[in-house]
Structure 1
Amino acid sequence: MPAPKNKLKSAINAGTLQRGLWLNLGSDLATEIAGLAGFDWCLIDAEHAPFDPGTIRSQLIALAGTGTAPVVRVPINRDWVLKQVLDLGVQTVLVPMVDTAAQAHAAVRACRYPPEGVRGLGAGVARAGGFGAVPDYAGTANDEICVLVQAESRAALENLDAICAVDGVDGVFIGPADLAADMGFRDDLDNPAVLEAVDAAIATILRHGRSAGIISFSSEMRAHYKRLGVTFLGVGSEAVVLSAALRALAAER
């Protein structure tokens, strides 16, 4: 029995738009509701939310069977962190703060079994390999792992051609907030200079044949990014949606 097919990877590599939601609450119930809502993917945000390996596992179980593909954003680009997350069974990872081709290459190698990478052979006793029920996992897993790296600094944009050229990088996700802050516009995310830099970065990513990704809380900007060819599109966060809905309800008089 081989590793499961990664339908999300196949879709974005084929240029098919995949819309998804950030998960920041760490709630199994909220995650299950999001998974059943009809998104193509849901991202467990281990960088900016209260997640550890145990809670990531719980979120993956909550998404299982909903039809929504799980993605995990790891907190840092380290091989041992990526190894833990992959052994929990996720097949698509988002790696933050990738500024150079060398860092992108390290992320890819951390997600691949030897000889292509350095991932440790432990899935036979982990959820990824069905605790031994998927005997061919190690021999088939590499092709099904999707590696998305985040470009969210001026340095990353300067090195974007080299990052996109790294074999094994499936896509590059533009982190608009951190990019704006690094450009000197922390409190002005819609500054024309930031928007122009994002558009140019998306064009570069697509020119290299990689999937381009971004998140936007504006329906107008989401439509704009779809027109540009973004295929990994974040449409919001369950925490933001819940907070806004509750504030609106509380404001009724």
Structure 2
Amino acid sequence: MTRNRIKRRALAGEKLLGAWVFSGAPAVCETYALAGYDIVLIDAEHTPIDMAETLACVRAVEAGGGDAMVRVPSHDFGMFKRMLDAGIHSLMVPMIDTVDQAKGIIASCLYPPRGRRGYSASVARSGLYGFDEDYIDTAHEDTFLALQVESDLASQNAAAMAALPGADCLFIGANDLAGSLGKLGRLTEPDVLASIDRAAEATLKAGKVLGTIPIPGRDPLALAERGYGIVIGECDMAAVRAGAVADLARNKAKFPGRR
């Protein structure tokens, strides 16, 4: 049985609700874990946080009893190796358009003969610094890959990508998908929704985990009804912004704020 709780629960058909962390703040990561989110997703794609900061966030999630996933910044082979060797076994990979790209990413994350991941399990955190003597035989069972469908081309290729061994989840990035159709920010347009639904149907038909973010008209509860197994909605920076705006609005009569 896989020790990766995200993978085990998702493959068992549980519905997992997650929160994004863009701040790179370990205290925020730990707080979200303590609050009870199923996944705390640390974003290393759209933020300046580096590898050491990412690992600090992962450790904070684990300290709070939670499960971390990291959205990686690119498709770089060396970067996958570093993430995995750091003991980060749940990865979200952005901007995958083709089957060949998906195959390359999967291969980067698995040891031979399944892939081409380099070996350092006897000294790396992934293998518990050598204390997990069976790690190289079980690493593939504990690695969870969420491949992001973020273009109409990716939607067209979703069925073939979902069929790949090692593609555990297709996660639909609705905003960039809309952008690929020339409709960035217009998530309720019929052709955008049709592209999203085509990818979703292909993923579910392949028996893989389906993930996404909430969009107008499709909140986490509605998405769960549609078969989505992973929904990441809450975001630390959005929550901080909303809280600040609300506080200023409540108190502006006596404290007009900075002009």
Please, what TM-score do these two structures have when normalized by structure 2? 0.92
Q: 2:189 aligns with which of 184, 188, 191?
A: 191
- Name the residue aligned to 1:137: 135
Cα deviation, 1:154-191, whole Å, max 9, x if unaligned, reads 11011111111111100100000100111111131222
- For structure 1, the 5+ residue unaligned runs are none
Cα deviation, 1:46-67, whole Å, max 9, x if unaligned, reads 1011221100110011111322
- Name the residue aligned to 1:16: 14
8 Å CA contact 1:34, 1:238 repeated in 2: no
Superposed displacement of residue 209, structure 1: 0.5
Percent identity of paired positions between Structure 1 and Structure 2? 33
Superposed displacement of residue 4, structure 1: 6.8
C-alpha distance in structure 2 between counterparts of 1:163 and 1:48, whole Å: 24
Letter matched to residue 129 of structure 2: F
- Name the residue aligned to 1:161: 159
Q: Does 1:97 align with 2:95?
A: yes
Q: Secondary structure at the match of 1:251?
A: helix
Q: Does 1:62 align with 2:30?
A: no
Cα deviation, 1:90-143, whole Å, max 9, x if unaligned, reads 111111111111111111111111111111111322221222222221221111
CA 1:220–1:177 in 2, change beyond 3 Å: closer, same or farther? closer
C-alpha distance in structure 2 between counterparts of 1:156 and 1:220, whole Å: 21
Q: 2:122 aligns with which of 121, 124, 127?
A: 124
Q: Secondary structure at the match of 1:177?
A: helix
8 Å CA contact 2:156, 2:199 repeated in 1: no
8 Å CA contact 2:156, 2:198 repeated in 1: no
- Name the residue aligned to 2:207: 209
C-alpha distance in structure 2 between counterparts of 1:176 and 1:124, whole Å: 40
Runs (4+) of structure 1 exceeding 3 A deviation are: 217-220
Cα deviation, 1:191-248, whole Å, max 9, x if unaligned, reads 2321232123211110011110001266853222111100011122111111111111
- Name the residue aligned to 2:31: 33
Q: 2:47 aligns with which of 29, 46, 49?
A: 49
Q: Does 1:229 align with 2:223?
A: no
Letter matched to residue 57 of structure 1: L
- Name the residue aligned to 2:256: none
- For structure 2, the 5+ residue unaligned runs are 252-259
What is the number of residues matched between the two proteins?
A: 251
**Which of 1 and 2 has greater Rg?**
2
8 Å CA contact 2:107, 2:117 repeated in 1: yes
8 Å CA contact 1:83, 1:110 repeated in 2: yes
**Cα RMSD (Å) of the superposition?**
1.6
Structure 1 window deviating more from structure 2 (6-15 vs 17-26): it is: 6-15
